[in-house]
Amino acid sequence: MKGLAYLFILILLVGSVGAVKVVREGTYSGGELRIKIGISNDFDVEKEFIIYEQLKGEFIGGEPSYCLGANNICYMKWHTKIPTGKIKVINYEVKPYFTGQYDSAPTKVEVNNKSYYSEPFAINVDCILDGICGSGENYLNCRDCSYGMEDGVCDFQVGICDLDCENDSDCEYPELSFFRRLKDWFLGLFR
C-alpha cells in the first residue's frame, strides 16, 4: 500500500501537463519483478485506454498478448475504461530471463488517437530462479544457492565444506565431515 500511495503522489507531481499521466514503478525480490503502472484520466469524461507494455521476461499468470521481430520481444496489451478524474493501476509480475539490468521501453497508452508514454524502466536483477546457482547469484540474494556452494559467500555450517570460508575444518578433513553428517543423520532418527 505504501508503494501505491507513493505512485499516486508521483502522478500528482508529474501530472501538471496534458490530460493523461503514465507512471511506472517496480520492485524486485527473490526472482520475480512486480510492476505497477498508474494511468490518470484528466479528461472531463470517461475514456477507453489501450496500454502497451514491453516484457523482458516470462509474464507470470498468463501468456503475452503478442510477440514481434527476429528477437521475439513480447508485449502485453490491455484495454480499460477509466472514469474522469480517476487513476487506474495495473499490476503484473514477470520473471526476468537474465541477471543484470532489466530494462523495458516506456509504457505506451493510447486514447483519443493520441499516445502517451511513461519513463523507461530499469532495475538490477541479481537472481533468476531456475534451480542453478549462476553468475551473480549467491546464498544471500538467491534461493538457488545453498550451503557450501562456491558462490563468493561463506555461509558456514557445521558438517558442510564451503570453499568460500577460510579455515573451514570441514574442507580440511572431508572424511571427518562425512562422519559428522553420518552422526547427525543417526541422531536425527531419535528426535
Shortest Å distance, C-beta 145 to Ca ion:
7
Position 162 contacts Ca ion (CB under 5 A): yes
Position 168 contacts Ca ion (CB under 5 A): no
**Residue with smaller CB distance to Ca ion, 41 or 177:** 177
Cβ-count burial of 116 within 10 angstroms (0-12 exposed, 13-18 middle, 19+ buried)? buried
Amino acid at 3: G
The CA-atom distances, in angstroms, between 180 and each of 148, 156, 174 are 15, 15, 10
SS3 153: coil
Q: Cell for 26?
A: 517496480
**Residue in 25, 164, 168, 170 binding Ca ion, rule: CB under 5 A:** 164
Smallest Cα–Cα separation from 28: which of 115, 99, 117, 77? 99
**Residue with smaller CB distance to Ca ion, 15 or 134:** 134
Residues within window 84-143 making contact with Ca ion, judged by CB under 5 A: 128, 130, 132, 134
Position 144 contacts Ca ion (CB under 5 A): yes
**Residue with smaller CB distance to Ca ion, 99 or 107:** 99
SS3 66: strand
Shortest Å distance, C-beta 73 to Ca ion:
22
Can you state the percent helix, strand and coil of the chain, rounding each to 5?
15, 40, 45
**Residue with smaller CB distance to Ca ion, 119 or 130:** 130
Give the footprint of Ca ion on this chain (CB under 5 A).
Answer: 128, 130, 132, 134, 144, 149, 151, 153, 162, 164
